[in-house]
Amino acid sequence: MLLTISRDTLLKPLLLVSGFVEKKQTMPILSNVYIKKAGDAITIVSNDMEIQASININGPMSGEDFIITLPAKKLQDILKVLPDTELVFTREDAKIAVTAGATKFTLQSMPGDHYPLLRIIDTAICKFTMPQSKLKSLLGQVQYAMADKDSRVFLNGMLFEIKDNTLRLVATDAHRLGYATTDIAEAISNASSIIPRKTIIELFKLLDDSTDGITITVYPHQVSFETNDKQLITKVIDGKYPDYERVIPLGNDKLCLIKREDFLRAIERVAVIGIDKLKTVTLEINKNVLALRCRNEEQEDSNDQIEITYQQDEDLKVSFNINYVRDLLINSQAEYLQWGFFDGQRSVLVTIPNDPNFKSVIMPLRA
């Protein structure tokens, strides 16, 4: 007998690392998860040669020490259909049998020592620790602005910039930008890395909503994120990130304060009939009133309006990609957002009142 363990003890960690397993692999073993047992601890690892996630499991278990690899998707599907019961893993020649009561599955296995584990290859530039909940909040505020499959590869990720003991997270797809910062308690060296989009998405899933610490270590070509029971190692994107400070408007003096939830509900209402190919939502801002309008390809309209705080004499009319506005409203947790306009043709700057640590920029659609 290799291992006896409860199904739930194994399933949750397996689900967390499964996002790193690619469906189409040039190396078949990378479709497997690496499982190592030593004493009363199990380590589960998956990687795609660019990013690697490891989770340690401690809990009731019995069996011999081993290193094996098993098909990630099949093992995950098996555990999902089983009730929370005791699982028994046994070796049958080159295969591994998984038994739960009268139910038995037999899976192909590949030798664990053939699995290409990622290693740290450089000396650290800087290292610091912060609460997991804080990092998760920062990622959530800006990750939606990352590009996806852009030919400018440096946009397909998020900038982690450490400067003057401040961590800055920046994401942009050249049409919108998200920016969030926090102070770092420790005195550390300045550093800058572009973290791939896939890493950011999976890191967000791995983080807990707790004050438990996560240690971030920056290397010349890698970054690691480590908690008490999880570790993520990622390669970084080579390239120079755009000068994001140049695109953050400084002279937008026409300010309106909008309750985030009211704006989000209105956006969802006007989008019900569908929208045109440019996904246009037109905003008309008058004194203390925001009017929203969408038009679909059948020339049907939807209109709505909400109360806002806007005391300027000049009325504004501006159009945005509705998804850009909706993404911002969904991912922000603030009760109110301040929208700063220059006119109807230039980018809008969105901030949180009395909070200098968050900025979002959205380019309007040209009329």
Instruction: Kindly report the CATH number assigned to the domain that includes residue 24.
Output: 3.10.150.10
pLDDT band for position 367 (cuts 50, 70, 90)? low
> Phi-psi category of 347—alpha, beta or left, where left has phi over 0 and alpha has psi -120 to 50?
beta
Task: State the residue range of the domain holding 84.
Answer: 3-114
In tens, the pLDDT along 228-273 reads: 999 999 999 999 999 999 999 999 999 999 999 999 999 999 999 8
| Residue 272 falls inside a structural domain | yes
| Residue 120 falls inside a structural domain | no
pLDDT band for position 167 (cuts 50, 70, 90)? very high
Distance CA 136, CA 147 (A): 19
Burial of 28 (0-12, 13-18, 19+ CB in 10 A): exposed
Same domain, 161 and 265: no
Same domain, 91 and 10: yes
Same domain, 45 and 141: no
- Output the average pLDDT for the chain: 94
Which single residue is written with the structure tokens 């994001």?
244
Give the residue among 148, 188, 191 at the shortest CA–CA distance from 168: 191
Same domain, 159 and 271: no
Percent of the chain whose predicted confidence (pLDDT) is above 70: 99
Out of 246, 281, 297, pick the residue that ends a domain: 246
Give the residue among 244, 266, 263 at the shortest CA–CA distance from 339: 263
Same domain, 100 and 166: no
In tens, the pLDDT along 306-365 reads: 999 999 999 999 999 999 999 999 999 999 999 999 998 999 999 999 999 999 999 999
DSSP 83-121: -S-EEEEEEETTEEEEEETTEEEEEE-EEGGGS------
Out of 80, 114, 148, pick the residue that ends a domain: 114
In tens, the pLDDT along 171-220 reads: 999 999 999 999 998 889 999 999 999 999 999 999 999 999 999 999 99
| Token output for 233 | 């190692």
- Residues in Cβ contact with 211 at an 8 Å cutoff, skipping those fewer than 6 apart: 131, 132, 133
